């Protein structure tokens, strides 16, 4: 029973349980407060007060749809594209779509490119909000309708976008469909069961304002070291800077500021992207170090559980195989105590299997219900293998984060041409 409970807690995560309960309390409180006096708010910024900034490196297949998704909801003059060392037609396509374009050579990396375009066009002084938008991402039609009201609270300085996978990006290969389904499960689990609770006003412990489609108040950008040296990605660092410098609150709601992004559909590109994200996270943790405050305590517990869970997932299949082997030997050894029977007593095969596979599959069931996509129930049988890959990538990145620093220069995953789409709302 002890082995089973430990496996369950590390598979689901105590953090997940706690923040899901906090998120449920947010929903209940919001329903109880309907019709009652509310806290002081201000009018949210209008769309005209938003600058959309897109950093792009060789994104000719997707950049026009990204610009169109933003320009359909605000003036195209508010869209700024920085082509960072592109060798294809990215800059020309962006200019033809009506965006204001800055070309940089050579490739500086996304963070430095963002800092350059914000400075070049004095965006922080000209606009109240800056939306950082990835070149492969389309804004949902109600992105601003749902996202801008979160700035009605004067203490909110950033709104974290909610990610979902582009629905028309499904590849023909079975492996590709499984990878995309798994990525969507990760999005749902992290955003519904963790981030929503962490964004509670009295907690303010959101660990990342993702750079794919999130908004910042322009007045705080001068206080954020966007292009901090030695980091692979910028969004973790920008988020940590908000907390470290006590710049304000980060807002998030799973039904607000939704954007659709093109995720990798091959294991190679998936591992490359997730490895890059993990490296950026650990580099940021190393750069900032410990601080006093709620966010840093929450972060510490998250890191401890992340490491323990990653070790469990890497050890799961070897432990299960060892335990099953011990059980098979024990059956042939008779009733007398043996090394095999002692091993089975410590690591019962059924407890190990159910402790990991059952809660992991229940998480998939929850995601299938939320998204109303029964196909998850099929793909869920394979997801533990991808969690094992995630565990390996996480621990490998931790080791690399304490090695030589990185330049931040980047190459995009292989892109697939896309169409303008309406999202399936969840």
The pLDDT value recorded for residue 338 is 61
Q: How far apart are CA 184 and CA 119, in angstroms?
A: 35
The pLDDT value recorded for residue 340 is 60
- Cα–Cα distances in Å, from 317 out to 2, 241, 289, 352? 19, 39, 34, 9
For residue 57, give both structure tokens: 């490196």
Please, is 360 exposed, middle or buried when counting C-beta atoms within 10 Å of its C-beta (0-12, 13-18, 19+)?
A: buried
Exposure class string for 242-261: b at 16+ Cβ within 10 A, else e: bbbeebbbbbbbbebbbbbb
Tell how far CA 172 is from the center of its chain.
25
The pLDDT value recorded for residue 82 is 98
Collect the ranges in the chain with pLDDT lower than 70: 35-40, 168-172, 330-344, 407-408, 410, 412-414, 416-426
Query: Domains along the chain?
Result: 2-13+300-401 (no CATH), 17-28+42-294 (3.90.550.10)
For residue 225, give both structure tokens: 């070291």
Q: What is the pLDDT of residues 87-98, one digit of tens each?
A: 999 999 999 999
The pLDDT value recorded for residue 406 is 73
Q: What is the pLDDT of residues 341-369, one digit of tens each?
A: 666 677 788 888 999 999 999 999 999 99
The pLDDT value recorded for residue 6 is 86
Q: Which residues contact 205 (CB under 8 A, 6 or more apart)?
A: 198, 199, 294, 295, 298, 299
C-beta neighbour count of 25 within 10 angstroms: 12
For residue 54, give both structure tokens: 């897109």
Prior bond of 100 cis (ω within 30°): no
The pLDDT value recorded for residue 424 is 42
Long-range contacts of 283-291 (CB under 8 A, 24+ apart): 283/230, 283/231, 283/232, 283/236, 283/401, 283/405, 283/406, 284/231, 284/236, 284/237, 284/240, 285/401, 286/401, 286/402, 287/228, 287/230, 287/231, 287/237, 287/240, 288/237, 288/240, 288/244, 291/243, 291/244
């Amino acid at each position: 029973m002890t082995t089973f409970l430990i496996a369950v807690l590390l598979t689901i995560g105590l953090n997940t349980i706690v923040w899901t309960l906090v998120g449920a309390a947010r929903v209940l409180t919001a329903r109880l407060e309907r019709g009652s006096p509310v806290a002081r708010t201000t009018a949210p910024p209008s769309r005209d007060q938003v600058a959309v900034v897109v950093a792009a490196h060789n994104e000719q297949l997707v950049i026009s749809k990204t610009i169109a998704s933003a320009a359909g909801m605000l003036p195209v003059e508010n869209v700024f594209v920085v082509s960072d060392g592109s060798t294809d037609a990215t800059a020309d396509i962006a200019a033809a779509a009506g965006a204001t374009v800055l070309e940089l050579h050579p490739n500086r990396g996304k963070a430095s490119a963002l800092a350059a375009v914000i400075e070049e066009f004095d965006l922080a002084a000209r606009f109240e909000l800056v939306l950082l938008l990835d070149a492969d991402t389309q804004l949902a039609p109600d992105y601003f309708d749902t996202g801008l009201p979160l700035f009605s609270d004067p203490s909110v300085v950033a709104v974290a976008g909610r990610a979902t996978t582009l629905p028309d990006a499904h590849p023909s290969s079975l492996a590709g469909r499984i990878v995309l389904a798994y990525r969507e499960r990760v999005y749902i689990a992290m955003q519904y069961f963790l981030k929503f609770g962490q964004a509670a006003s009295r907690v303010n412990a959101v660990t990342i304002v993702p750079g794919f489609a999130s908004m910042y108040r322009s007045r705080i950008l001068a206080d954020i070291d966007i292009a901090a040296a030695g980091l692979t990605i910028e969004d973790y660092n920008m988020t940590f800077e908000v907390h470290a410098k006590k710049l304000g609150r980060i807002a998030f709601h799973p039904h607000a500021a939704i954007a659709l992004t093109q995720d990798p559909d091959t294991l190679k590109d998936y591992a490359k992207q997730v490895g890059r994200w993990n490296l950026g996270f650990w580099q940021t943790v190393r750069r900032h170090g410990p601080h006093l405050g709620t966010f840093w305590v929450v972060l510490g517990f998250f890191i401890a559980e992340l490491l323990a869970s990653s070790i469990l997932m890497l050890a799961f299949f070897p432990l299960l195989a060892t335990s099953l082997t011990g059980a098979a030997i024990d059956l042939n050894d008779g009733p007398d105590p043996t090394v095999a029977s002692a091993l089975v007593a410590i690591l019962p095969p059924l407890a190990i299997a159910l402790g990991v596979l059952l809660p992991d599959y229940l998480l998939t069931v929850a995601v299938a219900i939320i998204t109303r996509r029964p196909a998850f129930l099929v793909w869920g049988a394979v997801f533990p293998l991808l969690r094992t890959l995630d565990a390996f990538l996480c621990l490998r990145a931790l080791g690399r984060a304490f090695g030589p620093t990185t330049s931040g220069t980047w190459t995009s995953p292989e892109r697939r041409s896309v169409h303008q789409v309406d999202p399936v709302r969840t």
